[in-house]
A and B are shown apart, each in its own frame.
Chain A
Amino acid sequence: MITLTNLSKIFRTELIETHALRDINLQVNEGEFAALTGPSGSGKSTLLNILGTLENFDAGDYLLDGISVKGLSDAALSKLRNEKIGFIFQSFNLIKDFSIYDNIELPLRYRGLKASERKQRIEHALELVGLHARRDYLPGQLSGGQQQRVAIARAIAGQPRILLADEPTGNLDSLMARQVMELLEQINQQGCTILMVTHDPDQARRAGRHIQIIDGQLSDAVLYDPLAAQSA
């Protein structure tokens, strides 16, 4: 589903060049739940942003469903993001003066769906995250965990093929973090591929696959085996 071949990313300033990612080769199959870990500044968020087409890369190739995203127009990239990718951000990124319903509706608006279909999808997503009763609330009236569940509802309402989560529990306490993880697992079980950046080893362990980045390169832990980890 996702194929990265010799993918590199360099951040340039007037004085220095920083190789954020070097020769990344990675294959993610449909339905996988992969955790992306690594020290701060290792390039995991950069990789996630490239996978979400929020950022360009300098070399190599990125195939999504067999199609190279390199050279796609802004409109094509927007369509791809809208239809195939769902985002969950650490800081939720909800629009504070829009209701929960309106926030979840955002990606559906840009897909040009009819009002009735949008409503059906939003209600289904709200049911899934258990916030149906709070559809008219503003984000500020919800707890952090609830806001992240709204963000998850927004991400899944578009029925994406891939969910990209950048430290989705980073701002939550342990109880809320567990609830969010359970929700993500539930979504993954329904067939959605998930790539999640996390610093939490427990969460990484709960994912079916562990991808580790150090200094912009995939480390040996790419071949992380959950069974081996359990026996150890």
Chain B
Amino acid sequence: MEQFIYYLKVSFVSIKRAPLPYALTIFILSVGLGIFFANATFYYQLNSDPLPHKSSKLFFPMMLLAPYECTDCKPPAVLSYSNIEKLSQSDIPSAKTAMYSADGYLRKNAEQTPMPVNIRITQRDFFSMFDVPLLHGSVWPDNSARLEIILSKATAEKLFGRTDAVGEKLLLDDRHLTVTAVLDDWQMLPRLYDANNRNHLSPADDIYLPLETGYDMNYLSNTQSQTFDDTDYRKLSTQGRTGALNQLQYWVQLDTPTAQQAYKQFMANLAQDEKVAGRHPSEPNNQLVAMRNIVNYFGGESSDIKAFALVTLLFLLVCLFNASHLSLNRYLGNQYEFSLRRALGASRGQLQLQMLADVLLMAVFTIAGALLTGYAGIKLMNHLLPRNSLFSSWDLPLLLSLLAVAFICSYLVTLYPSLRASFGTLNQQLKE
């Protein structure tokens, strides 16, 4: 340890000898790494798996059950109520949920100013399938219509100033509902259960309403709905359950490859039955997309972030090259000292330990600079691309990875120059 402290002291002396080139090296590395950090943060968060333990078991079924002739048609991303009813008949999935989202206004009583809320209209399995944590109360016992809602923690605090609001009455667009549960802090990032139309970038919903109640209360979808017959989409409560009004996303949990295979077969049989019944004339086209691939399937990948990733990686390489060049000049300036140390008995191994001390110091300065630059970069990107702002946080694995990258870059910037300096011809350098 004492020897390593000595190596650190030697490093400091070496920095004091030529502080400007050293500061410039740190600055170049910090800028390159900082910008890379900022972009890597978004890239990592946008491509992260929010449910790593079960995302391979969650699937999004889609079927081409449209009542018209169509060749090379992709199945619609949303299904009709009657489609969902038929798909729900299978007991192969261990959990299944249909959903859509709508807008509404919520308040405690008629005297209060209503506040706009985003409503997820769904079924009871939604909460278990996506690991939604409950803080108070319990989820609906079944999928039947009921005048009950579940609040997010933030909504409960906003309305009542506390989280335990179970049993409280609320007015949702002037209809009375009872709070049955309050969620704990929860933000699935990315929100893959709603990947259609790039909604996976959005924040979590404010309140949750049973699907049947949503239909009864005539809540129209605020994202995507398609009508394949003469159903009036505005008359959801009366025509929505029977007409070809597609607006429901559907998720199933298939725990084993066998179950997945069996469900595919079930979907094929269903499509065939529908065709035989004359409800859709097109060739069957079923899709069972895994949650991990859903963003890709819908083409929702952030091309701007991808492009930034490439640009910042190239920029980092340029910065690395420049920093190495500066570092090489600095080390060659100190080559005489390397040779003297070797002449006096330092082995190359001992000089490499000296180099490690140099790397450590450079890494500390670079990491500090890079984190500051990265933070500023994230703030700037949040300003330029506010839609991605939910994905700008640093978690521990990301931070550790970024620190490792900074350390490796510091090592690379130091490695070649120090090797060049320690492999020189001793006697020649001592004479110069």
B347 to chain A, nearest CB (A): 4
Known contacts A55-B427, A93-B340, A93-B430: A115-B2 contact under CB 8 Å:
yes
CA distance A175 to B349 in the complex (A): 42
Chain B residue contacts of A54, Cβ below 8 A = 343, 426-427, 430
Q: Which residues of B contact A (CB under 8 A)?
A: 2-3, 6, 13, 16-17, 336-337, 340-350, 425-427, 430-431
A48 CB to nearest B CB, Å = 9
Q: A54-B426, A54-B430, A55-B427 are in contact. Are A106 and B348 (CB under 8 A)?
A: no
* A178 interface residue (CB < 8 Å to B): no
Contact B2 A87 (CB under 8 A): no
Docked pose: A37 CA to B346 CA in angstroms? 29
- Cross-chain contact A87 with B343 (CB below 8 angstroms): yes
CB pair A98 B13 closer than 8 Å: yes
| Interface assignment of A74: CB less than 8 Å from any CB of chain B | yes
8 pairs from A and B in contact (CB 8 Å cutoff): A54-B430, A75-B347, A78-B345, A78-B348, A81-B343, A93-B340, A93-B343, A110-B344
Distance to closest chain A CB from B164 (angstroms): 64
Count of residues in A whose CB is under 8 Å from the partner chain: 28
Does B13 lie within 8 Å of A110, measured CB to CB?
no
**Which residue of chain B has its CB nearest to the CB of A106?**
B344
**CB within 8 A of A107: which of B3, B337, B345?**
B345
Q: Name the CB-closest residue of B to A81.
A: B345
B431: chain A residues at CB < 8 Å are 91
Minimum Cβ distance to chain B for residue A137 (Å): 16
**Docked CA distance A83–B346 (Å):** 11
Give every chain A residue within 8 A of B341 (Cβ-Cβ): 106, 110
* Residue of A with least CB distance to B345: A82
* In the complex, chain B residues whose CB is within 8 Å of the CB of A49: 426-427
A98 CA to B9 CA in the complex, in Å? 10
A89 within 8 Å of B (CB atoms): yes
Asked if A154 contacts B344 (CB within 8 A), the reply is yes
Which residues of A sit under 8 angstroms from B426, Cβ to Cβ?
A: 49, 54-55
Please provide the chain A residues from 8 to 27 with a CB less than 8 Å away from any CB of chain B in the complex. Answer: none
In chain B, what residue has the closest Cβ to A97?
A: B13
- The answer on a CB contact under 8 Å between A52 and B343 is yes
Q: Are the CB atoms of A82 and B2 closer together than 8 Å? A: no
Q: How far apart are the CA atoms of A107 and B343 in the complex, in Å?
A: 9
Residues of A within 8 A of B348 (CB): 74-75, 78
